[in-house]
A = this chain, B = another copy of it.
Amino acid sequence: MSFLADTTVTAAGKGRFDTHLRPGWDIGGNANGGYMLAIVARAIALHCERPDPITITAHYLNPGKVGPAEVLCETVKSGKRFATVTAQLRAGDRPLLQVLATSGDLGQVPESPEMIDGEPPQLPEPEACRPSDSEEGIAPPFLGKVDLRLHPDDSGFRRGEPSGEACIRGWFRLQETEQVSPWAMLLGLDAFPPTIFNARLPMGWAPTVELTCHIRARPAPGWLRARFTTRFVSGGFLEEDGELWDSQGRLVAQSRQLGLVPRPA
């Protein structure tokens, strides 16, 4: 099944949307956070009639499991250019994600000055980067659903050889010929292994407390280049900053998440 099919939402009245967390989008049984966020973003788009998330924040409350779920949306403000919406993804009585988003239309881009202080990560061609599902690794991400290729310099953590830099770079696309939409970029921003797998810190999953994504533009067709970095691990928290660049070399999305540092075993 495609990403688009697997993130379907159906209007069920009064800001409520029915959905289903589909198999295969999980890591160890828990649905990927970006996948769940994409579902919420689709419900928000329908609810406020704005096609694109511009800035969207999710607080992760409980793990999502395969099965039926619903999204409850409420528009806080509907302006000329943007609409602001709060939403919750629930499975039965269990809240999974609480979301706050401002949405708009990225097809309507105002004339505006540009300044870009950065560039896409330099990566060997996708064929020269190892698919993330090519071997047993730590928490292999949703096999067969996305096509992730890690930079060889950043994938040594799998054989117990972390690079020593809290950085993960790689390619991202969906399977087959499905084009990456802004919704799929929400997935891409949460699909890579945690940066701290490359830091020389105790390994372990770093649960996400909060993820904020800024969608800057609809991506051109083709592979996206991704870079994730962490600069500060302190007080039991860490941030992870992400960038996605499209095949035209444009920055198309940024993210920051706050995660919990795995406790020493």
Q: A237-B214, A254-B232, A256-B212 are in contact. Are A98 and B110 (CB under 8 A)?
A: no
The reply to whether B117 and A235 form a contact with Cβ atoms under 8 Å apart is no
Interface string of A101-119 (1 = CB under 8 A from B): 0100010011111111110
Known A100-B98, A100-B100, A115-B199; judge A232-B251 contact (CB<8 A): yes
Select one of B102, B113, B201, B210 contacting A115, CB under 8 A: B201
CB-based contact B251/A234 at 8 Å: yes
For the complex, give the distance between the alpha carbons of A99 and B59 in Å. Answer: 12
Among the stretches A31-39, A76-84, A146-154, the one at the interface with B is A76-84
Copies in the complex: 2
Judge if A217 is at the interface, Cβ distance under 8 Å. yes
- Contact A236–B109 (Cβ < 8 Å): yes
In the complex, what distance in Å separates the CA atom of A238 from the CA atom of B166? 25
Chain A 198-237, CB-CB to B under 8 Å as 1, else 0, gives 0101100000011010101100000000000011111111
